[in-house]
Structure 1
Amino acid sequence: MKILIIEDDLDILKNIAEYLELQGYIIDIATDGIQGQTLAEKQSYDLIVMDINLPRLNGFQICQQIKRVSPRQPIIMITARDQLHDKLQGFSMGADDYLIKPFALAELHARILALWNRCYNLAGQHILTVADLQLNRQTYELTRQGKKLKLAPIPLMLLETLMLASPNVVSRSKLEEHLWQDSPPSSDSLRTHIHQIRQIIDKPFPHATGLLQTIHGVGYKLCN
């Protein structure tokens, strides 16, 4: 999950960012409203956490503008404003959740997971299935036709992303960003990992449909 945090209190920002990075999330940060809005417009985020009292542009304004362009963008507001009218204003601007400072980082994480599951309908989706290929997202056990398969961590992450998107195509750039953020290695690295996936999920099953497909000039998809 890629998360944008917009917060002008540097201590709070550092604590949240470090905690969420330890949970395995990709984190971008902004310390004022204009910077935060610019990042939200130019990049794709699974979820945004933002303060309300921000320099240059406040959280209410950012939230309203983001939701106007991307109505389904999940947003959690974090603020010391604990009055009912502040909460109501936040929700009226499109916020999906509202957390009062000070808060426990574990509670923020729980709210992130709950909102992610609610927005992307992933609650309970522990078993991903494409044709006769299955991936357990809790144990990361991978099987096809009941046979256990083993993939290295990076190809397994790629496969999970493709299974979540199936039957849609995932672009090369999206896959590279998911794995390596802003510092992708050589162009052959992704191709090598895709080849490894094919060798494990398709090659041992010559009488079954090849699941991993290359869409030339675009990216890859998994479908029957």
Structure 2
Amino acid sequence: MHRALLIEDNREIAGMLGDFFECQNIELDYADNGELGLKLALENSFDIIVLDLMLPRLDGLSVCQRLREAGNSTPILMLTALDSRQDELSGLTIGADDYLTKPFDLDILYARMQALIRRGSGQVASSTLQFGDITIQTKSGKAYRQGKLLALTPSTYTILKMLVSQAPNLVLKEEIAYQLWGDETPNNDVLRSHIYQLRSQLDKPFETQILKTQPKIGFYLESAE
């Protein structure tokens, strides 16, 4: 049984999701404000967090940011309003893994959640991947460049793992999108935001930029050595 944390102040939506999760055999913890949600997320272990953007006491973007700053790597699915595209991109940039706009289809929500849960649990393996000065300890799900731990979300970890596994070859955008979302691929802005977030960890703090883009086709790693 998977365990989810729902942070949502709309009681009608929360009740609907609670009934749905129960039918899907998902154990649910619930918070109706951002402060309580952050506290529960930091003090407990969850397979996924479903996080509303507009929350009392502490908004969803702040909750997401504080969780990532605290080293919490639980997959986060953000719920947003239809007219908040910039907020969606902001959420992805600071560490959310995916988003759905309201109103949403319950089956789509469940499919996205399952994809994120599989991705998170898939970080546990039994070997080390290496390319140039990048090392990925797949048993612990941690990645390093020049010995420095990279602060990655489950999504950026998955992308980096694909790039290192196939380096120095090109990885197609479609391959990355399918690995992240399966057949429920969102628009290009979401992948673009994840690449931006990965680059901010992988390239920005270092002298040599190694994450390369082949426009409209894909991405690849270039050894710094």
TM-score (norm 2): 0.52
**Separation (CA, whole Å) in 1 of partners of 2:98 and 2:88:** 9
Contact 2:42 2:72 in 1 (8 A): no
Alignment match, 1:30:
31
Q: Compare 71-80 and 10-19 and name the one that shifted more.
A: 71-80
- Matched to 2:96, the amino acid is A
Q: 2:101 maps to what in 1? A: 100
Q: Is the 8 A contact 2:80 2:88 kept in 1?
A: no
Q: Count matched residues.
A: 124
Query: Shift in Å at residue 88 of structure 1?
Result: 1.1
- If asked which structure has higher relative contact order (CA below 8 Å, sep 6+), I would say 2
RMSD of the TM alignment (CA)? 1.9
Distance 1:83 1:33, change over 3 A: closer
- Is the aligned partner of 1:121 residue 2:122? yes
The aligned counterpart of 2:196 is none
Q: Distance in 2 between matches of 1:55 and 1:72?
A: 23
Tell me the alpha carbon deviations over residues 96-131 of structure 1, each in whole angstroms, 9 at most, x when there is no partner.
001000001111100001111122228xxxxxxxxx
> 2:107 corresponds to which letter in structure 1?
A
Write the deviation string for residues 128-182 of structure 1: whole angstroms up to 9, x where unpaired: xxxxxxxxxxxxxxxxxxxxxxxxxxxxxxxxxxxxx9xxxxxxxxxxxxxxxxx
Write out the 4+ residue segments of structure 1 that deviate beyond 2 Å after TM superposition.
81-84
- TM-superposed CA distance for 1:71, in Å, is 4.4
Aligned-partner Cα distance in 2 for 1:99–1:82: 12
The amino acid of 1:31's aligned partner reads D
- How many angstroms apart in 2 are the aligned matches of 1:70 and 1:99? 24
2:18: which partner in 1?
17
Q: How many Å separate the matches in 2 of 1:28 and 1:121? A: 23
Provide the TM-score with structure 1 as the length reference.
0.53
Deviations 1:57-105 (A, max 9, x none): 0000000011112342100001214443122101012000010000011
**Maintained 8 Å contact 2:5/2:28:** yes
**Percent of matched pairs sharing the same residue:** 41
Unmatched runs of 5 consecutive residues or more in structure 2: 124-138, 140-225
Equivalent pair of 2:51/2:79 in contact (CA under 8 Å):
yes
| In structure 2, distance between residues paired with 1:81 and 1:93 | 20
Inter-partner Cα distance in structure 2 for 1:32 and 1:107:
24
Equivalent in the alignment of 1:78: 79
Partner-residue secondary structure (3-state), 1:102: coil
Of residues 101-110 and 80-89 in structure 1, the stretch that sits farther from structure 2 once superposed is 80-89
